[in-house]
Structure 1
Amino acid sequence: MKLLSIIVSAITEYIETGAKKFEMDTTTHPFTKLPDFPKVVKNSHGFQILESPKGGKKIGLTLAADSFDGVHPKSLIFIQDMLTAFFENHIGIREVLDFPLPKHTVAVGFAMQGFEVGDGTGKFYPSDGNQGFTTYQKISANLQAVYFTSHRNQEISFLSGILYFPALKGRAKCFLNDRAAVHHVIGSREPYPLQDREKSHQKVNHKSYGRFCSIARKRVLVDCSGKYVRHLEYDHFWNTWKRTVCEECLVDSVLYKWEDPLTSQIASRIQQADDTIAVFNRDTGCVLEESPKVKDLKEFLEVNPDVNVAPEAALLAKILLGDGYEGRIGGKINEHPLAEMSSHKDIPTSSTSPSCSTSDNNFSHPLEQNSSSDDEDYSKLETEEDDEFEDATEDFEPSSSGEDSDIVIVN
């Protein structure tokens, strides 16, 4: 009877292994509002955070009953080794990983840079208190990625954490596949807080970065170690990494330009404003009585090449106009135009000359008054990628030549 049970378990594991690899190669699961927990996790008895004073709340364990003995021991060793490698340079976290995980651990969650584990399975929150919502994506039968989307910017979802469900005895394990999947998910993420891709730790040190590709219709890991960028993907059937050419990512690598989220947010608000902005004539130094509306400023300056934005509105103009208008912002304004004009009789005073009303000299845009508080707000998010965290793509970084890799054209 025991022999029959062993045979059945072996057959079941073999069949599930093939099915799992096929699913990982062919299926991109959708994002959901709720996690897809295995039955053993739904019936769990407790949740424990592996917290240290130096490391914070980075790892969470979901536990079954103390008597539960269904988890495969090698599966627990596998995830503990993964965590040890990921937090290799984070002394505080390494301290709590010096001891084996409980044998009745049925789920392990670990947070990414900038996030911490919450009070339950699959819950991760930004360390800076940023508000938003969470979505989940199934990667394999044993893996789920957790994403955070800020209310401030809903265009990008940041990887906040990863959930691993240890394989049960007699079920498919596929450690190599899950390991590669974890590396790919981490490597294809955007850094949090969002930063210039060209200056990111991953791009500078490992010649790769993550982005969403509309052709592939998923997040991709982009390898930029060669002359042209290519997707770096894992073939779960053959257990090997390969590169694929993508037209969209190639064009994006050439046209990419970093745009500060705060600047673009303020500029968007300004564009919708109906207020005016002070301008003056460079030749006479006179502030014009009729000021253009904020949303029409760029067009106004192009039509009137002898006009500049008043110095007191310089910050607002820089945010609104961007690069290329440095010479059209600021300058010397005539503080006493009437007195100066009376002392120079040769200066024309016709109605066609620019008016020198100084009533607009104290012009201050309402959005500009709030810019300092916006800067203080965002400064909390402007942190560089923490080098204490081991970049997960390092373990599988391919050779830069890529001559032995498969080349596939993605249409």
Structure 2
Amino acid sequence: MVFSKLFSSSRSRDKENEKKYIINGYPLTTSPVIPDILKHHVEFKKVKYGSIDLLGLTFAHEGSDLVKPESLELFRNKLEKWYKSNPKFLEQINYKFPKNLIAISAARPSFDVGESCHEFKLRNPFKPSENSYFTYRKHSECIQCAYYNEDGVEFLAGITFYPAPHGKPQLLKSNDALLYLASGSYIRYPLEDRRKSFLMTEYKQYGRFCSVAGKHVLLTCSRNDRAPRHYEYNHVTKEYEYIFCDECCRDYYTYKWEEPKKDTPATAAPIVVVEESVPAAATATDSESSAVSRASSTESLVGGFERIDVSSDVESDIYDAELID
């Protein structure tokens, strides 16, 4: 009985530790953080939409039971909402994801999935500028975003989702909200006048990087006073909130579209150098011989699995319209 109480208490502390990282934010890094579970990867497949490499699926050995179905369904349901206007594409993922699926990569508009679960590249006919580069930020232990930096702007290139980075997923409601906000707060490449963007003209919403919040935020101007507010998720109360921000409000009223200057160093956030490089696409047939090195991670703090209803009554389904060009 004593051991059981201690184990339960430890799991609770681990969950609270991860929640603190989610709330306070993870650092921006020069290379992706590699979770331990990727040491099991043996195959990487792409899912196409026409000529677009839209999804990347990373698998462990067939028959492996590494991931809980609740976590896989969370992301599959998200994909169905993002791409609901494209039934032909949805036919390719209209099945129960297998338990050996250990990473799912989704490219954003103007980008393709590359040759590994963390790699994204500009889609033809776009060409990277001379001083462009990629950065990465975890939003939780399950979610990592890749950003293409050009002309001083961070463009969301893709999202990598690990259904069980440490073997036992938790905080599924938070991860559901984080996926929603990350996808909604992106800045589309190439840079456009946000006042003419689809989300702004149709729904009075747009994304920008807020230096006060230290992250990309989804702003909504749909309230009665039409002033922009951060649309946030409270990971403690598990509810969405509207937060007023002086910086974003000033930016909204003084915003003026100008053609971007070329090769301006990005200054959105401080970058942490991660020495480990991203591994090449998996070709090994033995999981023991395809070990993956990883950068420092908080996953050692995380343990336990708590089943949480992944349905969301709050989330809007408006984000499918521009996800596929």
Q: Partners in 1 of 2:3 and 2:54 — Cα distance? A: 39
2:289 alignment partner in structure 1? none
> Is 1:23 matched up with 2:21?
yes
Distance 1:123 1:394 in 2: 29
Shift of 1:56: 2.5
Matches of 1:205 and 1:13, distance apart in 2: 44
Structure 2 CA distance for aligned equivalents of residues 12 and 130 of structure 1: 49
Cα RMSD (Å): 2.9
Q: Distance in 1 between matches of 2:3 and 2:166?
A: 12
Counterpart residue number, 2:142: 142
Whether the aligned pair in 2 keeps the contact of 1:70 and 1:169 (CA below 8 Å) is no
Deviation at 1:107, TM superposition (A): 0.7
Larger Rg: 1
Q: Are the aligned partners of 1:223 and 1:230 in contact in 2 as well (CA < 8 Å)?
A: yes
Query: Which of 308, 311, 316 is the equivalent residue of 1:394?
Result: 316
Kindly indicate whether the alpha-carbon contact (under 8 Å) linking 1:110 and 1:163 is maintained by their aligned counterparts in 2: yes
Matched, 1:112 2:108: yes
Once the two structures are TM-superposed, the CA of residue 55 in structure 1 deviates from its matched residue by: 6.5
Matches within 5 A, 1:246-285: 246-261=245-260
Aligned AA (2:201): V
Alignment of 1:225 onto 2:222: yes
Give the match for residue 183 of structure 1. 180
Counterparts of 2:209 and 2:65, CA distance in 1: 41
Relative to 1, partners in 2 of residues 1:120 and 1:172: Cα closer, same or farther, differing over 3 Å? closer
Give the drift of 1:394: 2.6
Distance (Å, rounded) in 2 between the aligned partners of 1:186 and 1:201: 14
Aligned residue pairs total: 264
Tell whether the 8 Å contact from 1:12 to 1:170 is kept in structure 2 after alignment.
no
**Counterparts of 1:136 and 1:175, CA distance in 2:** 21
Shift of 1:172: 3.8
The one-character-per-residue Cα deviations of 1:98-134 (angstroms, maximum 9, x if unpaired) are 1222320111110111111111111111113321322
Does the Cα contact within 8 Å between 1:45 and 1:63 map onto a contact in 2? Answer: yes
**Mapped partners of 1:6, 1:133: distance in 2:** 49
Higher RCO (C-alpha under 8 Å, 6+ residues apart) = 2
SS at 1:140's partner residue?
Answer: coil
Structure-to-structure mapping, 1:290-309, within 5 angstroms: none
How far apart in 2 are the matches of 1:200 and 1:189? 12
Q: Who is 2:65 aligned against?
A: 69
Q: Calculate percent identity across the aligned residue pairs.
A: 29
Q: How far, CA to CA, are the matches of 1:8 and 1:51 in structure 2?
A: 48
Judge conservation of contact 2:209–2:215 (CA < 8 Å) in 1: yes
Structure 2 length-normalised TM: 0.73
2:323 — aligned with what? none
**Aligned with 2:105: secondary structure?**
strand
Cα deviations by residue, 1:14-47 (Å, 9 ceiling, x for unpaired): 443333223212x221211111121111331121
Unaligned runs of 5+ residues in structure 2 are: 265-313, 320-325
Say if 1:12 and 1:98 are closer, same or farther in 2 by CA, change over 3 A.
farther
Greater fraction of residues in helix: 1
Is the counterpart of residue 198 in structure 1 residue 195 in structure 2?
yes
